[in-house]
Amino acid sequence: MSCKKYPMMLSNLDDIPPLKFGNYKLVFDSELSDYSREVARIELRETEEVAKKAIWELRKALENEKNLVTPLHNDYWLIKFLRPCKFYPESARNLIKRYYEFKEKHSSIYDGLLPSKLTQLFLADIVK
C-alpha cells in the first residue's frame, strides 16, 4: 500500500526530509519491495481482501469505544495497529487501548519529545 502524502503520518507533507544525527541519516520509505509484500502476505496475513475487511471491522469496533478519540477514517493509522496483530481486528483494538493507556500513564515521557532531543542517543550508538 502506498500513499502519496503519507497519511499514516497524519500529515500533509509532500516530502518527508531525512532525519540527520551526526553521521546517521534516517530516511522514510513508503514503498514496500516485492519481497516485503510477500513476507507481509505469509507472516501477517496481509492481503488486500484481509486488510480491507480488518480495517472495516476495526473501525466499527473503535466507533463503539466512546472513551477513545482516534483517527477512525485514516486507514494507514489503523493498519499501523493491525499489522503487529496479524490483521485480527479485536487484537488491534486491544493494542490501541493499551497504547493510549500507556501514553496516559507515562505522559511525562512524551511531553516535548522531539527527534532533536534524542541526538545524543544516536551519537552514542544507543539507537541505530
pLDDT in tens, 8-57: 455 544 567 777 878 888 777 767 789 999 999 999 999 999 999 999 99
52 Cβ contact list (under 8 Å, min separation 6) = none
Predicted confidence band at 5 (pLDDT cuts at 50, 70, 90)?
very low
What DSSP assignment string belongs to 4-63? TT-GGGT---S-PPPEEETTEEE----PPPHHHHHHHHHHH---HHHHHHHHHHHHHHHH
